[in-house]
Homo-oligomer: A and B are copies of this chain.
Amino acid sequence: MSTVENTAVKREFEETSDESVAINNNNGNLMKRQVIVPVTKPRIHYTPLKTGLCYDVKMRYHAKIFTSYFEYIDPHPEDPRRIYRIYKILAENGLINDPMLSGVDEIGDLMLKIPVREATRSEILEVHSKEHLDFLEKTEQMSREELLKETEKGDSVYYNNDSLSSAKSSCGGAIEACKSVVEGRVKNALAVVRPPGHHSEPESSGGFCLFSNVAVAAKNILKSYPESVRRIMILDWDIHHGNGTQKAFYNDDRVLYVSLHRFELGKYYPGTVHGQYDQTGEGKGEGFNCNITWPIGNVGDAEYMWAFEQIVMPMGREFQPDLVIISSGFDAADGDTIGQCHVTPSCYGHMTHMLKSLARGNLAVILEGGYNLDSIAKSALAVAKVLVGEPPDELPEPSKDTKPEALEMVDKIIRLQSKYWKCFKRNCGNAGCEFKEPVTENIISKNFPLQTAIRQQQLQNLLLDNYKFVTLPLVNQKLSEDTVFCSQNVYDASTLLIVVHDTPDIWAARNVITGTIEPSSSIIVDSGLQFIKWAVKRNYGVMDINIPQSLFEQDNYSAMITAQEVLLYLWDNYIKFSTDVQKIAFVGIGDASSGIIHLMGHRDTRNNVKAIISFIGSKQLKPLVPLVDESLTDWYFKNSLVFSDKNHSCWGDNENKKPRKKYGRVLRCETDGINNIVEERFEEATDFILDSFEEWSDSE
């Protein structure tokens, strides 16, 4: 079948012949079509198809029964005006011609009205249980009291006597929109329908949703057009996870469900584990489910464009869908107080434009959530303009860096999904990117080998050889003997610097093909060293404490416990008996810092400890727990500097936000990464120590 027919473009011939054949069209139905052999030069031209539009005023009858005066002032967010406002903005901007906004049939040259009808029982039963449908059918006849009771019982959903009809129309509208695209009557389609659908699971309503509109549409399209529609991609950019849609296709390899949503460890609605990024489908459907879960709110264009270019588009192209359906909630839009995110109308336009390049342009956009009436109208307008063929508007200049949490999540998802999708192998080496021990046989030692190697290097090449450091024996037998090294003057120096650090970083060149790093062009960057050199030069006593990190452990909980135990042990067994020591400064680097803060809360060190410096980078802030007495918190705040990454999550998006005193005096650096912030703030840190020691540097 030629490209021209594939792209669903109507050919019109100016010259006709009487030759007429029956051809097998996309839908698997035989249809008559005039096929003309031009006698001279071809004289044909394209007439581009219109964009379909589903809208019917009757879907506004589903509404919450008012029970108090306040609902007039503060109406339910799933407000009947949602669809009207979208229809209105399309008319105001000339995309449709309906001056009275009454829902006329003839709406102009750009869009074609797709009549809304109610979904049939059998269509709905393709996804939903008979019990669920029967229950909803009963709502038509229920009394006000019964309706209110069911509303109360449900999971964020309301009913009135028109709910069933609206829900069936919404569902039928979604089906008709998809059908008109698949049958080539329109080039793509927009269904402005409500109530939304993606939270409705086969057995139940939920989250403002009665029927799972998109799921019902997709199931019925697959059933009705088995030849022309073998695969459907559903892209759900509603800010909430589409649990209902996911469930309907979780073990189905014909439907790729990709959802971008807030997750926040399951705290965000619908708040089940099903929305987690590691839910990739099961059985035949394994690998055909992809949750792109924002671990934080407040994301916007940068994060969505990144996820689209890195995940959605390569995956979509590899899947080769015959139809793309957007589950188009506009609650990630800037201005939506439920979503609290900042996707601009231009960004919705760009995402639509990208998705148009899949499935030969077969794209149906079905409305889901979105509760700020202005935001959803502007967003839907941007989508509609791209559907009719306009280029998307330019994206506004990003005001912020892309959120590191989002970058990390996208990276994690790529590594996870690389099991299923060839396109992602390129991002993480052909060897695949899941972190797994490559060949057990070949690993030198399973117990933190690289860390051990680095520590040996650290000690042998520098501490031992250059500075004649010695080991300090630890009774705590869990730790290796190379954990604490000291300068030889540690017992008689009056001033002591104690550096507690994680395993130092490695700056490495990573091979893009194999995913391995190249030792020849890799360097160990030991930020603590700079402080040790500085202290040795000033004849301070120096202790260097290395806290190894745990392998495969996300939160490094045990490393922090180790740091805490080691420091308490050193304090109780060595430092507090050292009569010569008058002034002590601590420098903590990374997670290991938490050991210092723990010590400060659990022992009264105020006689000797003058300064506590922490470089935490992007690690979590640790509060001082003042077990000795309440005034410790103030003391800690006055005598500490805590350097964080520029993009540390504690800063949020409010420029004026300050962490509380119990976290110490937290300062925001200009850069990210432990090495960079040490480099940036080394002088400030050492000056702070000198001030607290009442010493001053030579230059002052």
Chain B nearest CB: distance from A684 CB in Å? 15
Is residue A247 contacting chain B, with contact meaning CB distance below 8 A?
no
Q: Which residues of chain B are near A404, meaning CB under 8 Å?
A: 430, 512-513
Given contacts A4-B94, A94-B42, A454-B453, contact A508 B517 (CB under 8 A): yes
A582 within 8 A of B: no
**Assuming A97-B43, A431-B671, is B392 touching A444 (CB within 8 A)?**
no
Please tell me if the beta carbons of A461 and B445 are within 8 angstroms of each other in the complex.
yes
Contact B675 A392 (CB under 8 A): no
Complex CA–CA separation, A423 to B332 (angstroms): 22
Flag if B513 contacts A507 (CB, 8 Å): no
Task: Tell me if A6 is interfacial: C-beta within 8 Å of chain B.
Answer: yes
For the complex, what is the distance from the CA of A521 to the CA of B517, rounded to whole Å? 13
Interface of chain A residues 431 through 462 with chain B (CB within 8 A): 431, 435, 437-439, 441-445, 448-454, 456-458, 460-462
Whether B457 lies near A453 (C-beta < 8 A) is yes
List of B residues within 8 angstroms of A350 by Cβ: 357
Does A552 sit at the interface, judged by CB under 8 A? yes
| Chain B residues within 8 Å of A526, by CB | 442-444
Complex interface: chain B residues within 8 A of A9 (CB)? 390
Taking a contact as CB atoms under 8 Å apart, the answer to whether A407 and B353 are in contact is: no
Contact B523 A438 (CB under 8 A): yes
Q: Is A91 an interface residue (CB 8 A)?
A: yes
B394 & A43 in contact (Cβ 8 Å cutoff): no
Tell me whether B510 and A510 are in contact (CB under 8 A). Answer: yes
The stretch from A145-153, A189-197, A306-314, A601-609 touching chain B is A306-314
Partner of A393, one of B360, B461, B519: B360
With a cutoff of 8 Å between Cβ atoms, the chain B residues found around residue A44 in the complex are 93-94
Interchain CB contact under 8 A, B457 and A520: no
Task: For the complex, give the distance between the alpha carbons of A429 and B508 in Å.
Answer: 12
Residues of B within 8 A of A394 (CB): 320, 358-360
Residues of the B chain whose Cβ atoms lie less than 8 Å from the Cβ of A530:
439, 441-442
A 516-538 binary contact with B (CB < 8 Å = 1; else 0): 11111111111101100100000
Q: Is the CB of A45 within 8 A of B94?
A: yes
- Scan A499-519; emit 1 where CB is below 8 A from any B CB, else 0: 000111111111011111111
Is A549 a contact partner of B529 (Cβ separation < 8 A)?
A: no
B675 touches A451 (CB 8 A): no
Query: Which of A48, A353, A395, A520 has its CB near the most chain B CB atoms (within 10 A)?
Result: A520
| In the complex, A692 has a CB within 8 A of chain B | no
So how many copies of this chain end up in the complex? Answer: 2
Contact A519 B507 (CB under 8 A): no
Q: Is A690 an interface residue (CB 8 A)?
A: no
Q: Which residues of the partner chain B approach A46 to less than 8 Å between Cβ atoms?
A: 93-95, 110, 388, 390
Partner of A444, one of B97, B395, B438, B462: B462
For window 18-32 of chain A, which residues contact chain B by CB distance below 8 Å? none
A329 interfacial contact with B, CB 8 Å: no
For the complex, is A92 an interface residue (Cβ under 8 Å from B)?
yes
In the bound complex, how far is the Cα of B461 from the Cα of A426, in angstroms? Answer: 35
Chain A positions 616 through 640: 1 when the CB is less than 8 Å from some CB of chain B, otherwise 0: 0110000000000000000000000
Residues from chain B with Cβ under 8 Å of A510 in the complex = 508, 510, 517
B109 touches A529 (CB 8 A): no
Q: Are A40 and B99 in contact (CB under 8 A)?
A: yes
Most buried by B among A305, A407, A533: A407
Question: What CA separation (Å) do A48 and B389 show in the bound complex?
Answer: 8
Known interface pairs A7-B393, A525-B439. Does A431 touch B672 (Cβ–Cβ under 8 Å)? yes
Q: In the complex, are the beta carbons of A506 and B519 less than 8 A apart?
A: yes
Question: In the assembly, what is the distance between CA of A318 and CA of B4, in Å?
Answer: 35
Given A95-B46, A394-B359, A450-B506, A426-B672 contact (CB < 8 Å) = no
Write the A331-364 contact mask toward B (1 if CB under 8 angstroms, else 0): 0000000000000000000100110111111000
A94, B11: Cβ atoms closer than 8 Å: yes
Q: Which of B110, B353, B508, B647 contacts A45 (CB 8 A)?
A: B110
The yes or no answer to A281 lying at the interface (CB within 8 A) is no
Which chain B positions have C-beta within 8 A of A475? none
> Which residues on B sit within 8 Å (CB–CB) of A438?
507, 523, 525, 675-676, 679
* Size bracket of the A interface: 35 or more
B673 and A429 contact, CB distance less than 8 A:
yes
Within 8 A of B (CB), among A37-77: 40-48
Task: Determine the chain B residues whose CB is within 8 A of the CB of A373 once the complex forms.
Answer: none
CA distance A408 to B514 in the complex (A): 11
Question: Are the C-beta atoms of A507 and B503 separated by less than 8 Å?
Answer: no
Say whether, besides A44-B94, A407-B426, A444-B458, A516 and B524 are in contact (CB < 8 Å).
Answer: no
> Across the interface, do A525 and B443 meet the contact criterion of CB distance under 8 Å?
yes
Looking at the assembled complex, report how far the CB atom of A186 sits from the nearest CB atom of chain B, in whole angstroms: 13
> Shortest distance in angstroms between A681's beta carbon and chain B's nearest beta carbon?
12
Q: A42-B94, A442-B529, A679-B438 are in contact. Are A513 and B672 (CB under 8 A)?
A: yes
Nearest-neighbour CB distance to chain B for A216, whole angstroms, equals 26
In the complex, the answer to whether B408 meets A99 with C-beta atoms within 8 Å is no
Q: Which residues of B contact A296 (CB under 8 A)?
A: none
Please name all residues of chain B whose beta carbon is closer than 8 Å to the beta carbon of A430 when the two chains form the complex. Answer: 401, 404, 646-647, 671-673
CA–CA, A96 and B41, complex, Å:
12
B93 touches A673 (CB 8 A): no
| Contacting residues, chain B, for A82 (C-beta < 8 A) | none
Known: A426-B306, A443-B524, A671-B430. A506 touches B512 (CB 8 A): no
Known interface pairs A45-B110, A97-B43, A462-B444; A357-B451 also in contact (CB < 8 Å): no
- Expressed in whole angstroms, the minimum distance between the Cβ of A379 and any Cβ of chain B is 13
Contact indicator A101/B437 (Cβ below 8 Å):
no
A664 at the B interface (CB under 8 A): no
Q: Which residues of B contact A357 (CB under 8 A)?
A: 350, 353-354, 391-392
Give the chain B neighbours of A443 by CB distance below 8 A.
Answer: 523-526
CA distance A359 to B506 in the complex (A): 41
Known: A7-B385, A449-B461, A504-B519. 14 other contacts (CB 8 A): A43-B99, A430-B671, A439-B530, A442-B526, A442-B530, A449-B523, A450-B524, A503-B520, A505-B516, A508-B516, A513-B618, A517-B522, A519-B549, A520-B550
Minimum-distance CB pairs A-B, first 10: A361-B391, A520-B549, A514-B673, A453-B457, A41-B99, A44-B94, A389-B389, A453-B453, A505-B516, A45-B94
Write 7 A-B pairs (CB below 8 A) sorted by A numbering.
A44-B94, A430-B672, A444-B529, A506-B516, A506-B517, A520-B550, A520-B556
